[in-house]
Amino acid sequence: MLSGFGDDPFAAEPLTGSGGVPDGAKPPASNAPSKRKREPGARGVKQAEAGKTCFVKSCEDDKLVGKKWCCRHNRLYDNLWTQAKKSNETAAVQQAVSTPEGADHALSDFERDNPPHAKYARKSVIQWGQFKRVHVVSQTTRSRNGCKPYEWKQWLKRCEQKMGWAAADAKKLWNHYSTAQEIDKDHEGLNGAIRLWIPTIEATHNDTDRSRTFAFEEGGAQERDMDEDHRQVLMDHCLHSGKGTNQADNNFLQGRAVNGPETDNSEVPELQTPKKNKELNDPASKDNPSPEDEKKRKRLEKLARGPAFEAHKATMVHKLKEKMKGLDNLMATVGEKIREAHAEMANDRQDAVKLSYLKAMEAGTALLEVWKTEVELPACEGKPEELKDLPDVVARAQTAFCDKCELLKDLVQPVNSKATCFTRAALGWFHSISEKTTCIFLLERIATEMKDHAAVIDQFARGLQKVATDAKNFQSQQKRKAQQDEAKKKREEEKKAASEATALAKAAAKKVKSGSKGRRPMWPWSANAIRSRERPFDLSRGACARKEQLHTWARIQLQTDRS
């Protein structure tokens, strides 16, 4: 089983593991590597890094050292990458897994068709799909025998009133059933009264069933001589698929469009109300921690003090810093894109659409500026309250940003107004709390929530960028249309000139014709017949005398044809 990889590495240390190692037992440390070796499809030994979770949003497992993912997701990602490389779609994969939510979606979709095993690194289990419509009429002779649960009074009533038996017989039967081995019993009756499952259902049916089935069947190539390991992988995949972790499958089972929205239209969580599964407070404040939370808490506690804590903190703070740098760069790029698109359009304020784009881009630039506002951060103590009670300067920057968003929302609204988009100033504040804090849980909470904050900020930036892209597209579309119109006009002019030339030539021909003898020739032979030299003229009807005139006529006809 793959879960062997996710084991807490600290559990291997004899004294720190909960309960310690029983006497005489083999120390787990020497056990683990050989166990790993036997894992089917395992590629090298990878170690989990305690206290840092997998990048996938819904995954609470520890990530592997030097990787973004936990063991299971790492393997899925590797396989996804291999397949994407084969079809030159790595860019799409990169884009898809760039956010925790995106990665969740992409990997869960991929996992549906690709068990996390080396065998499926290169090919998907599902290789074809076929729509089928089946009409079935089936004739069935069905006999049904079954039991129904009875409480004593209910049984008595049935025997006396429905069956017309004596109460004594009913009692006798009840006693017989209550001691019989084959009769199921439970205590689901009124106030926990005993119920006996007595065989009272007897029925025979002659049914004709008609059904119409629409099915979409999917499958892979038939595999012969499947070995036991491989068979196990597919069996496990069935079990895993059956759990319905895939959104598309869940939607289908509930009769919704497969690519429909998720069940809960939950907004992006705010700082004050983090999502339940991501909440990682001080352990004392939690009433009923789930086993996973409990496990994670224990893991974090091991990192809570001394050098382990300092090292962990340094990594977290560094990551936060990197994240902020990334966002700064993103904002700079977006600002540049808006400036470019704006400059391209700026001289054309007459067109209503363009004017609207220009205004939206100006609003976007204003929002970007307010978002970036730098403030002088006050001293910070690294306390949990400081996460909520933002210092005045930060709170003011945040309010100014929200006000601006509200003010400009008719022009541009990159993020939903219900989502909290933190400004650069707020991020700076969270960073200083991380630097100062001595509490592992606070550190963890900031790191976890930062994923959500970054996602909203990212959305904000992409939303603004889209305005610039749309404006650019509109601009080039218009250019293309102008070019097409120009080309069309040119074509039409050429056509007109050509038809005028034809008309002119025809008129000239007519003139020549009418000028010759004042009437049409007697034998309107086709010009072709005359042009072909092999064919002798049919002169049998006395055309000799008019030979010369005929030739003239034919020449004119030829000219007209050519033009």
Summarize as ranges the residues that interact with Zn ion (CB under 5 A).
54, 56, 59, 61, 70, 73
What CA–CA distance (Å, rounded) separates 312 from 40? Answer: 33
142 alpha carbon, distance to own chain's centre? 46
Provide, rounded to whole angstroms, the least separation between the CB of residue 64 and Zn ion.
Answer: 9
Closer by beta carbon to Zn ion, 296 or else 342: 296
Q: Determine the residue type at 19.
A: G
Q: Is 321 helix (H, G, I), strand (E, B) or coil?
A: helix
Looking at beta carbons only, is 97 or 467 nearer to Zn ion? 97
Q: How far is the CB of 106 from Zn ion (least distance, A)?
A: 13
The long-range contacts involving 183-190, CB below 8 angstroms and separated by at least 24 positions, are 183/147, 184/147, 186/149, 188/149, 189/149, 189/151, 190/151
Smallest gap from residue 57 Cβ to Zn ion (A): 9
Closest distance of CB 291 from Zn ion, Å: 17
- Distance of closest approach, residue 3 Cβ to Zn ion, in angstroms: 12
Return the number of the residue (54 or 554) whose C-beta is nearest Zn ion: 54
* Shorter beta-carbon distance to Zn ion: residue 56 or 338: 56
Other CB atoms within a 10 A radius of the CB of residue 354 amount to 19
258-292 in b/e form (b: 16+ CB < 10 A) is eeeeeeeeeebbebeebeeebbbbeeeeeeeeeee
DSSP 60-89: -SEEETTSSS-HHHHHHHHHHHHHHHHTT-
Smallest distance from the beta carbon of 119 to Zn ion, in angstroms? Answer: 21
Residue 76 CB, nearest approach to Zn ion (Å): 9
Q: Shortest distance, CB of residue 71 to Zn ion, whole angstroms?
A: 8
CB nearer to Zn ion: give 57 or 513. Answer: 57
Q: Which is nearer to Zn ion, 48 or 443 (CB)?
A: 48
Q: What angle do CA 519, 520, 522 make, to 5 degrees?
A: 115
Residue 303 CA, chain-centre distance (Å), reads: 35
Closest to Zn ion by CB, 59 vs 454, is 59
Q: Tokens representing 186?
A: 């439970």
DSSP-assigned letter for residue 1 = -
In whole angstroms, the minimum distance from the beta carbon of 310 to Zn ion comes to 27
Determine the Cα angle at 262 with ends 108 and 264, to 5°.
Answer: 125
Q: Which amino acid is at 55?
A: F
Tokens of 243: 């759990």
CA–centroid distance for 256 within its chain = 16
Of 77 and 430, the one with the shorter C-beta distance to Zn ion is 77
Cα distances (Å, whole numbers) of residue 93 to 89, 246, 300, 458, 461:
7, 18, 32, 18, 21
* Smaller CB separation from Zn ion, 54 or 363: 54
